[in-house]
């Protein structure tokens, strides 16, 4: 495992930890899109179907369990925890996320590496992950005051995929390891969707001002 | 070599 992959995994892990910290200790999920969190739960559930059959390393298995467990517990907290759910911006979080699921599924059935159940589900998870951030970005744009933890969460989530792209380039040259073009395209789309956010995130950081996205 | 089926990333 190279440094870029590790850094990518760690930023991904930190993004989840930041979100859990906000929910668990501050008991607030203000500014967080439940729609995006539900999509991530589906992403991990469909991507890690091989978790018990395809053993790579203890590291991989533990990380998969963390991402599965955290994504489903975040959804549970936001929907059912009696204090946390009160802070959910239900009226603002209106992106109809289910309309993303069907096109991703159809695309996965049409364009995949191999037409098997596990491969199609894996490809579906890539397509869905690429666009899963959209409800969160829409909610951010509607939120007047984005708190620090929410801003950091989205930043870390975007940085994770950007670092994975650097990892793929590195692996291409050093290991002769080819990542399928589907993975490349999805990773690029996912990172580009965050690029606009990155711009405003760095601006607010540079000027030491509160993060706010233009309407 | 392609990662054909072996997904070692997360």
* Alpha carbon separation from A183 to A23, A82, A91 (Å, rounded): 31, 39, 34
- Best of A14, A56, A165 to disrupt the B interface (most B CBs within 10 Å) is A56
Contact list, B10 vs chain A (CB under 8 Å): 9, 12, 60, 63-64, 67
Query: What values do phi and psi take at B2, rounded to 5?
Result: -85, 160
Cβ within 8 Å of A, B 1-10? 1-10
Q: What was the ipTM of the complex prediction?
A: 0.81
Query: Looking up tokens 């996912």, which residue turns up?
Result: A190
Task: State whether residue B2 is helix, strand or coil.
Answer: strand
- Encode chain A (215 residues) as per-residue pLDDT tens digits: 899 999 999 999 999 999 999 999 999 999 999 999 999 999 999 999 999 888 899 999 999 999 999 999 999 999 999 999 999 999 999 999 999 999 999 999 999 999 999 999 999 999 999 999 999 999 999 987 889 999 999 999 999 999 999 999 999 999 877 788 999 999 999 999 999 899 999 999 899 888 888 87
Q: How far apart are CA A105 and CA A101, in angstroms?
A: 6
Q: Enter the tokens of residue A77.
A: 């907290």
């Amino acid at each position: 495992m190279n440094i870029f992959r590790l850094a990518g995994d760690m930023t991904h892990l930190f993004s989840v930890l930041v979100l859990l910290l906000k929910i668990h200790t501050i008991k607030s999920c203000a500014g967080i899109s439940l729609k995006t969190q539900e999509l991530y739960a589906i992403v991990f559930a469909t991507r890690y179907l091989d978790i018990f059959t395809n053993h790579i390393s203890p590291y991989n298995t533990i990380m998969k369990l963390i991402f599965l467990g955290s994504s489903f517990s975040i959804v549970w907290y936001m929907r059912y925890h009696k204090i946390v759910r009160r802070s959910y911006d239900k009226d603002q979080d209106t992106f109809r996320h289910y309309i993303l699921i069907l096109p991703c599924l159809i695309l996965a059935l049409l364009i995949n590496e191999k037409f098997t159940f596990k491969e199609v589900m894996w490809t579906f998870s890539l397509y869905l992950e690429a666009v899963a951030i959209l409800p969160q970005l829409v909610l951010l744009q509607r939120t007047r005051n984005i708190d620090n933890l929410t801003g950091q969460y989205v930043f870390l989530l975007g940085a994770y995929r950007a670092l994975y792209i650097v990892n793929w380039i590195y692996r291409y040259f050093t290991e002769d390891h080819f990542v399928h073009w589907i993975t490349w395209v999805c990773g690029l789309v996912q990172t580009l969707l965050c690029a606009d956010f990155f711009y405003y995130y760095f601006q607010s950081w540079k000027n030491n001002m509160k993060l706010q996205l233009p309407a | 070599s392609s990662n054909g089926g072996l997904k070692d990333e997360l």
